């Protein structure tokens, strides 16, 4: 339920469903960077890339694929956010003293806004190469980032499936950005949560091929943008690499109640 009159602004989003191959980080980064360059021709305000798309879930030891925020690959995306005068979010695996962290960094106009570390990790007792509880260390909070387009949270993949995460940030944010690296089309999570909490959102999952323990398999991921009523502004077909453009109406300063 809404209580105060909002100040709406229109925010142009480019959500990118990148076709990647697990375990080939440099090739995957190169492909994603080229797609961002293509997206920038349309002058988006926000560019969203998937969760940990460069490394993927390529084995039971992700340490060789982890990096720091100062890596050359991440510097390139920071520079792209400056060149495109945009806010850019991408997921990666961060190396830390505690272990591997599932991170999503936010750059705006060439400067780091902040990093979200996935707090709700995916449990998978049947697939050790997908069991985030043993592969990674969790984050500790759901951050609220102040941006020039309003307040937002990054809610990563499985975190969107746990209602408490949206309930925690819902009363405080103007929009949500959701990077995914899941096997399947995750669009229904953002459609349902945006409708429930009255918050526009965008999501981006990877396509291409994913490691399935003893073989590779195609991934039917999607990307898209949804409004505060759960209406689809733009959505890709499952498994198709593309750039989904859409304009979110972001209502600044609106007071929200939990449903």
Kindly state whether residue 258 falls inside one of the protein's structural domains.
no
pLDDT in tens, 53-93: 999 998 888 999 999 999 999 999 999 999 999 999 999 99
Kindly state whether residue 31 falls inside one of the protein's structural domains.
yes
pLDDT in tens, 124-149: 999 999 999 999 999 999 999 999 99
Kindly state whether residue 1 falls inside one of the protein's structural domains.
no
Residues 6+ apart with CB under 8 A from 14: 39, 42, 44, 46, 47, 48, 243, 244, 245
pLDDT band at 2 (very low <50, low <70, confident <90, very high): very low
Mean pLDDT of 3-11: 75
Q: How far apart are CA 232 and CA 195, in angstroms?
A: 11
| Domain span including residue 137 | 7-252
Q: What is the largest CA-CA distance in the chain?
A: 55
Kindly state whether residue 165 falls inside one of the protein's structural domains.
yes
Tokens of 251: 């209502």
Listed residue (164, 192, 194) closest to 177, CA to CA: 194
**Strands of the chain, DSSP E:** 7-17, 19-21, 46-48, 87-96, 99-108, 111-117, 145-147, 150-154, 175-179, 201-204, 207-211, 216-218, 223-226, 232-235, 242-252
pLDDT at 1: 40
Dihedral (C-alpha) 13, 14, 17, 23: value to the nearest 10 degrees?
A: -100
Kindly state whether residue 171 falls inside one of the protein's structural domains.
yes
Kindly report the CATH number assigned to the domain that includes residue 58: 3.60.110.10
């Amino acid at each position: 339920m809404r209580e105060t009159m909002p100040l709406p602004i229109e925010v142009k989003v480019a959500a990118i469903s990148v076709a990647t191959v697990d375990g080939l980080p440099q090739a995957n980064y190169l492909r994603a960077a080229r797609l961002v360059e293509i997206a920038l021709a349309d002058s988006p305000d926000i560019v969203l890339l998937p969760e940990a798309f460069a490394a993927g879930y390529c084995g039971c030891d992700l340490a060789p694929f982890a990096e720091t925020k100062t890596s050359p690959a991440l510097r390139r995306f920071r520079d792209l956010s400056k060149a495109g005068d945009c806010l850019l979010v991408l997921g990666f695996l961060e190396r830390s003293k505690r272990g591997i962290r599932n991170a999503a960094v936010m750059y705006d106009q060439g400067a780091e806004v902040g990093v979200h570390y996935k707090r709700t990790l995916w449990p998978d007792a049947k697939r050790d190469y997908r069991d985030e509880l043993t592969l990674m260390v969790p984050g500790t909070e759901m951050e609220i980032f102040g941006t020039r387009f309003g307040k937002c949270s990054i809610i990563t993949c499985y975190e969107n499936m746990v209602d408490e995460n949206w309930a925690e940030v819902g009363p405080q944010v103007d929009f949500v950005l959701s990077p995914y690296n899941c096997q399947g089309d995750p669009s229904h999570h953002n459609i349902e949560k945006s409708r429930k909490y009255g918050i526009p959102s965008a999501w981006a999952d990877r396509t291409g091929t994913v490691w399935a323990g003893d073989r590779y398999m195609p991934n039917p991921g999607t990307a898209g943008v949804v409004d505060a009523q759960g209406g689809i502004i733009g959505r890709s077909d499952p498994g198709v690499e593309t750039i989904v453009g859409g304009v979110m109406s972001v209502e600044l300063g609106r007071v929200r109640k939990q449903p």
